[in-house]
Structure 1
Amino acid sequence: MLPFDKYPVRPAGFVAALGPTVVVAPHPDDEALGCGGLLALLRQAGVPVFAVLVSDGTMSHPNSALFSAAARRAVREAEFRHALTLLGIDETESLLLGLPDGRVPAAAHEPGFAEAAAQLRDFLEKHAAATVLVPWRRDPHPDHRATSLLVQAALAGMPQPPRRLEYLVWAWERAAPDDLPTAADGVQGFRLNVEAGLRQKQRAIAAHRSQVAPGVFTDDADGFLLANEMLAHFAAPYEVFFEAATP
């Protein structure tokens, strides 16, 4: 049994203190799944929100013959933009890094890592981000972990880095004991009441049509679709976040 339901609950009004916020999503749909409710609450409160998409999203259905890699990327980026608009976010202000899906670089020596970290840093500074939302550092997907490291590298180059909140996606289904927070991580978990943003969140998830049944890329029998069991975690009126523990 995962411990998330034991975490203390923070009210929706918590978002007012976050200030201008940037959400960093490894793939199109992670922004809606992991923190769509928080994003909706931020916009309802009039707080500026900006989005970064890290990968090109092409590997959910790599065997599609009807859709080339370029076409799959176009579909998924369009879904990402649509989901943002449903959450009240200006999609025209987004940053799309276009890194390879399934192979997001995770270390400074890997091609594209330093450039992506620099772009992230510039984007955060341009929008005077007070908070950045990023996947939990050990969320069990390599692109999610790589995204966390990219953000870490970007923040390391900032004299006054924004507050960092880490959200869950695959930890709900795939977390091993070693993936969960420990004392060494120096973080505390909490649940945010997102009931007031839940309808928008559900609409944003549904906007990613290629990832939910019956899908868009229908000629790849082995392609990825979000299972109902997975989606059930994101229909709850709470979202789970980790942040640096108060000394």
Structure 2
Amino acid sequence: MPTRPAALLDLPLRPASYAATLGPTAILVPHPDDESLGCGGLLALLRQAGQPVSVTLVTDGRMSHPNSMRFPPAARQQLREQELRLALRELDVAADTLLTLSLPDGAAPHHPGQPGFEEAVATLGHWLREQQPRTLLLPWRRDPHPDHRATYALARAALPLLAQPPRLLEYVVWAWQRAAPADLPQPGEAQGWRLDINSVLGPKQRAIEAHRSQLTDLIDDDPTGFRLGPDMLAHFAQPFETYFETSAS
């Protein structure tokens, strides 16, 4: 079994019924598959409780297999977005209002002044005003992937555009596998807790499996292409998900 950081494990466990208290929820997804890995269980529980869920996909997902000729960039983007829609269907999340920012995979802007940052913030702010979520799910601020950190930065920049900021829950993806001590929550930085998702592990696993391009040889002409390995996937077969809660102010 892979090593699991204690900071992600030794946290209070909240029951599945807690999901219903989060109300209408929006999620920002750096790449297709992050929604299923990081919080697929919570999304399924929200839908079981009748809470609406809306989704924004931040990057175009093109860099998972950058050397594929059979799936050139536009085809990779289309495939990965299709996989996201299939995964959302497994979680009973409607994809008809999916917002796609199509920022460059691996190079999403982090700071004001970088190309595309202000435009993405404005689009996110408009979308959040339309959705009016009570809770916003976004990647853990120091999740060890640049696009995850960029997604967090874009969200924080958009929040001042809202009259009523939502509750913020940060989910972890790459921190399970790659976090250095400084990447993990520091004392007093955030309130961490785990959510019991045992009852929806089936839908979560089916949602993960919908991302076939990241799990199989579907794109088989790029030997350097990305694949989620067994050690990484084991973190997301656990009967709980880990969240960190912070203030939107």
TM-score normalised by structure 2 residue count: 0.95
1:101 aligns with 2:101: no
How much does 1:116 deviate?
0.8
**What secondary structure sits across from 2:42 in the alignment?**
helix
Question: 1:197-227 deviations in whole A, cap 9, x for unaligned?
Answer: 11110000000000002x3211000100000
1:144 aligns with 2:145: no
Structure 2: distance between partners of 1:197 and 1:138: 27
2:211 equivalent among 204, 208, 212: 208
Counterpart of 1:244 in structure 2 is 246
Counterpart of 1:221 in structure 2 is 223
Q: 2:186 is aligned with what amino acid?
A: T
1:125 aligns with 2:147: no
Q: 1:242 is aligned with what amino acid?
A: F
**What secondary structure sits across from 1:91 in the alignment?**
coil
Structure 1: distance between partners of 2:16 and 2:130: 27
The total of aligned residue pairs comes to: 243
Q: Which moved more, 1:228-237 or 1:151-160?
A: 151-160
Question: 1:151-204 deviations in whole A, cap 9, x for unaligned?
Answer: 00111221211000000000000000000111352x111110011111110000
TM superposition outliers: structure 1 runs of 4+ over 3 Å: none
Which consecutive unaligned segments of at least 5 residues does structure 1 have?
Answer: none
| CA RMSD, 1 decimal | 1.0
Q: 1:207 is aligned with what amino acid?
A: A
Structure 2: distance between partners of 1:127 and 1:55: 20
Question: 1:56-108 deviations in whole A, cap 9, x for unaligned?
Answer: 00000000011110000000000011111111011111101100000000011
Q: Which moved more, 1:157-166 or 1:219-228?
A: 157-166
Structure 2: distance between partners of 1:183 and 1:211: 35
1:192 aligns with 2:162: no
Counterpart of 1:92 in structure 2 is 96
Structure 1: distance between partners of 2:113 and 2:36: 31
Structure 2: distance between partners of 1:56 and 1:244: 28
Structure 2: distance between partners of 1:139 and 1:211: 19
1:64 equivalent among 44, 51, 68: 68
Counterpart of 1:233 in structure 2 is 235
Which consecutive unaligned segments of at least 5 residues does structure 2 have?
Answer: none
**What secondary structure sits across from 1:183 in the alignment?**
coil
- The alignment-based identity, stated in percent, is 55
1:35 aligns with 2:39: yes
Counterpart of 2:157 in structure 1 is 153
Structure 2: distance between partners of 1:17 and 1:207: 28
Structure 1: distance between partners of 2:22 and 2:210: 26
Structure 2: distance between partners of 1:79 and 1:48: 21
Structure 1: distance between partners of 2:127 and 2:23: 15
**What secondary structure sits across from 1:15 in the alignment?**
helix
TM-score normalised by structure 1 residue count: 0.96
1:20 aligns with 2:27: no
Structure 2: distance between partners of 1:166 and 1:70: 30
Structure 1: distance between partners of 2:9 and 2:167: 24
